[in-house]
């Protein structure tokens, strides 16, 4: 089993407890991050009718729910939204929550979509789990319409410069694996999370990889002591 298959298998195993673990571990604050991401994307795209949104690494469907809610609030007509994920277990949970949504089993680096068909592609807390990341960015650029948007929410690697940075680091490396392990009964999965952040890119390097794929970052902002970073990039 290669690295990507191991990651997918891990998410299959924790799918049933994933939502409750996320809410507890983020203390619910991830909801505000998702809400801001969707609202800002609609504002930047500035169209009242959107043909297609693709949510990659959709997991249990949280981001899809926010795309739909915020579209209604912003008076945007969202014609179609599709969830894509290689984890069947995660999508089974998503289908129960969002039975009206189409879900497709697929990795991020090779998606079953035609060129230039999506207005917006999103990936929330999933890009660091994609082994072939640059290939995935190239794929997102292929599927997006010209001037379409890529929306990324992710935990990026940040330097430890202040006491708050060290407190955050203690939480992520000590508290989170223990608490996540208790809730999900899979400590290995929640040990992987902080390790995957430590091994991940800085904000600057991720922005460069986006540019290499023809995706120009137009908005980059850290939330909640830079725990989570939002990237919005436009296909040029």
**% of the chain exceeding 90 in pLDDT:** 59
User: pLDDT tens for residues 106-129?
Assistant: 999 999 999 999 999 999 988 988
Look at residue 141 in the predicted model and tell me its pLDDT: 98
Q: Looking at the domain assignment, is residue 161 inside a domain? A: no
**Is 11 contained in some domain?**
no
Per-residue pLDDT at 223: 84
CATH of the domain at 143: 3.40.50.150
* C-alpha separations of 44 from 160, 217, 218 in Å: 32, 12, 9
In which residue are the tokens 């949970």 written? 93
Q: Which residues are annotated as a binding site for S-adenosyl-L-methionine?
A: 60, 85, 124
In total, how many domains does the chain have?
Answer: 1
Is 166 part of a structural domain of the chain?
Answer: no
For residue 216, pLDDT beyond 80: yes
Measured distance CA(2)–CA(72) in Å, rounded = 41
Range of the domain at 134: 28-156+201-235
Does residue 189 lie in a domain region? no
Residues 6+ away with beta carbon under 8 Å from 145: 116, 117, 118, 119, 235
Residue 191 domain-assigned (yes or no): no
Sequence ranges of the binding site:
60, 85, 124
The answer as to whether 190 is a domain residue is: no
Cβ atoms of residues 98 and 117 within 8 Å: no
Question: Does residue 101 or residue 16 have the better pLDDT?
Answer: 101
């Amino acid at each position: 089993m290669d690295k990507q298959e191991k990651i997918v298998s891990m998410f299959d195993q924790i799918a049933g407890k994933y939502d409750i673990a996320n809410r507890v571990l983020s203390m619910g604050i991830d909801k505000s991050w998702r809400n801001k991401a969707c609202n800002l994307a609609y504002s930047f795209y500035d169209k009242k009718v959107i043909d297609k949104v693709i949510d990659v690494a959709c997991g249990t469907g949280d981001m899809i729910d926010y795309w739909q809610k915020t579209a209604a609030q912003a008076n945007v007509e969202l014609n179609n939204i599709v969830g894509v994920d290689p984890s069947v277990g995660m999508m089974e949970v998503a289908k129960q929550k969002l039975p009206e949504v189409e879900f497709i089993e697929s990795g991020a680096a090779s998606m079953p979509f035609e060129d230039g068909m999506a207005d917006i592609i999103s990936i929330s807390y999933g890009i660091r789990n994609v082994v072939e990341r640059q290939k995935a960015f190239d794929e997102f650029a292929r599927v997006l319409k010209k001037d379409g948007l890529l929306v990324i929410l992710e935990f990026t690697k940040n330097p430890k410069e202040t006491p708050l940075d060290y407190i955050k680091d203690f939480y992520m490396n000590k508290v989170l694996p223990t608490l996540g392990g208790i809730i999900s009964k899979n400590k290995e999965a929640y040990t992987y999370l902080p390790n995957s952040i430590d091994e991940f890119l800085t904000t600057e390097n991720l922005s460069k990889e986006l540019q290499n794929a023809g995706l120009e970052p137009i908005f980059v902002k850290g939330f909640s002591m830079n725990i989570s970073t939002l990237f919005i990039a436009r296909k040029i």
